Structure 1
Amino acid sequence: MASVNMADVKRLREATAAGMMACKKALEEAGGDFDKAVDLLRIKGAKDVGKREARTASNGLIAVKHVGDSLAALLELNCETDFVAKSERFQEVAATVVEYIADAKPADVPALLDSQIGGKSVKEILDETNAALGEKIEIRRFAVLEGGYIGSYMHKTDPQLPPTLGVLVQLDVQNAEIAKEIAQHTAAMAPKYLDAASVPADVIEKERAVFEQMTREEGKPEAALPKIVDGRINGWYRDFTLLQQVFVKDGKKSVGKIAEEAGVKVLSFVRYKVGQA
């Protein structure tokens, strides 16, 4: 078995909530491959593995900019400490950049960094902020939704700090109340995909392989495998797709049913939380 270091063991424990020894053994068996170790823990039945959000070690904020009801941008701007995150300059930079994103809709982060704001590139603005605040400041990701009706929800975990979690929800027609409720649900339940149809085929293939192996490890009859695995795939959809999740404010209805009853269609969503994938 491959030797592993404690940093990797700790990272796997943080991502899965499995025990330290279980994480160490999984990494050894996986030859140090992190994703394979996660799957091995799932197969062995470690509680809640795969349901926890992947984390990175960072601070920062989530910023939002609306342009009317049908366009909005969301930005994650990172720094090293919450002290800098709550500074006026850091928050001003975030507001400037997210406003530019909503206006110009750059293709990706590299294109954004090359963009000009007030005669300076965004990269130059970040470099100057780095020097002034004494920390690494970087844009991790951004998104723009346009069309229909865009609602948002921004969440603060600490009233002294800027928002660290933000959600955009795009509906086909205007309904501010339902957009806000679905955005709040999305913030709480962290879906990864909109619906079953939006899940990439390779993701489902991987999940099916994990569930097949898990079911065999449990000693279930071979003939029963397809039905059991299908049931587990459906359960995975209920965990990770927004429209199939049980609505947090009504345990008897899915988010899709709530939207249907409100006469709206959820077209897409974006959820960013600082330090999480």
Structure 2
Amino acid sequence: MAVTAQMVKELRDKTGAGMMDCKTALKETDGDMEAAVDWLRAKGLSKAAKKADRVAAEGLIGIAEADGKAALVEVNSETDFVARNERFQSLVLEIAKAALATDGSVDAVKAASMAGSDKNVETALTDAVATIGENMILRRSAMLSAEPGVVASYAHASAAPGLGKIGVLVALQSNGDKAKLAAFGRQVAMHIAAANPLSVDVDGLDAETVQRERAVFAEQARESGKPANIIEKMVDGRMRKFYEESVLLKQAFVIDPDHSVEAAMAEAEKDAGAAIAITGFVCFRLGEGVEREEEDFAAEVAAAAGGR
């Protein structure tokens, strides 16, 4: 019996198994849907479906670099115990390497081939769920490039080289010495992890955010009862402070707080022998924005006591 794409999709929806595994199961069972479900269960490949509704907010950020580009991925697991598993760590690094061959979007990374395997990233993750027994998801991914130049990276709370709880990429476009660029870029990446800027420069800030901040500052200034021209100057002063706190180039450089990142970059240009432009950055913080399940410890203890 011919296996159709619709049959594969239906089996995948039922079991949560990977597409290739579903196709194989249907071929092995001559298209019998229920038999295919049992085939996947026997192989341990349908476990993924049972895990899929669990909150995955732990895990690791993975980084992979190549000449002039780097990729960043966040792979979540349910527990930090799994994040310490060497197999999981290796999987995250391999996914990051696979991401280098894509545009950095999650869909593209899921479809990318794993090195030395006929499986794509999505199938490899499904197989890992079945083997390790926890829900795992590729939540986010990104890729930056700089030509000419370097993409520097930094992993904070590192579990192993290229793995951590915070991952940062920063692209430096320059014809300067690459070793010097990489060294400065790593410092900037460390700064980004610590200072959490919103954009590279003032022009890169979201216009809505700027308008909202200005409106708040204006309302605060009006409450002072001062004349309109003074209020305008007060707002401008507070906006400058906002930029110094929120814009990468305006922030005090964590490596040397007496100077801004912009001033530090001017010094780095002299060292590298060419002008430098920071063209972009990405910062992933593990589990950022994931709604975690809150456990009521008191209720749990009471329930346990009542069950004696």
TM-score (norm 2): 0.64
Match of 1:260 in 2: 266
- Relative contact order (alpha carbons < 8 A, sep ≥ 6): 1 or 2 greater? 1
Paired residue secondary structure (2:253): coil
2:257 corresponds to which of 251, 254, 262:
251
Match of 2:23 in 1: none
Tell me the CA shift for residue 266 of structure 1.
2.1
CA distance in 2, matches of 1:169, 1:66: 12
Counterparts in 2 of 1:57 and 1:95: CA distance versus 1, 3 Å = closer
Tell me the CA shift for residue 252 of structure 1.
2.2
CA distance in 2, matches of 1:194, 1:73: 19
Deviations 1:3-46 (A, max 9, x none): xxxxxxxxxxxxxxxxxxxxxxxxxxxxxxxxxxxxxxxxxxxx
1:275 corresponds to which of 256, 263, 287:
287
CA distance in 2, matches of 1:115, 1:271: 22
Residue-pair matches, total: 218
TM-score (norm 1): 0.71
CA distance in 1, matches of 2:232, 2:129: 55
Match of 2:272 in 1: none
Q: Which runs of 4+ in 1 moved over 4 A?
A: none
Match of 2:140 in 1: 141
CA distance in 1, matches of 2:84, 2:257: 37
Q: Aligned letter for 2:102?
A: K
2:77 corresponds to which of 79, 85, 97:
79
CA distance in 2, matches of 1:220, 1:149: 51
Calculate percent identity across the aligned residue pairs. 35
Give the aligned CA root-mean-square deviation in angstroms: 2.4
Match of 2:157 in 1: 156
CA distance in 2, matches of 1:110, 1:168: 20
Tell me the CA shift for residue 195 of structure 1.
0.8
Tell me the CA shift for residue 259 of structure 1.
0.2
Extract unaligned runs of 5+ from structure 1. Answer: 1-55
CA distance in 2, matches of 1:229, 1:183: 31
Structure 2 residue 118 is the aligned partner of structure 1 residue 113:
no
Deviations 1:184-233 (A, max 9, x none): 211211112111011121221122222223334x4343613322222222
Is the contact made by 1:259 and 1:266 (CA closer than 8 Å) also made in structure 2?
A: no
| Structure 2 counterparts to residues 156-235 of structure 1, below 5 A | 156=157, 162-173=163-174, 174=178, 175-216=181-222, 218-221=223-226, 223=228, 224-235=230-241
Is the contact made by 2:56 and 2:76 (CA closer than 8 Å) also made in structure 1?
A: no
Counterparts in 2 of 1:65 and 1:221: CA distance versus 1, 3 Å = same
Extract unaligned runs of 5+ from structure 2. Answer: 1-54, 270-275, 290-308
Tell me the CA shift for residue 176 of structure 1.
2.6
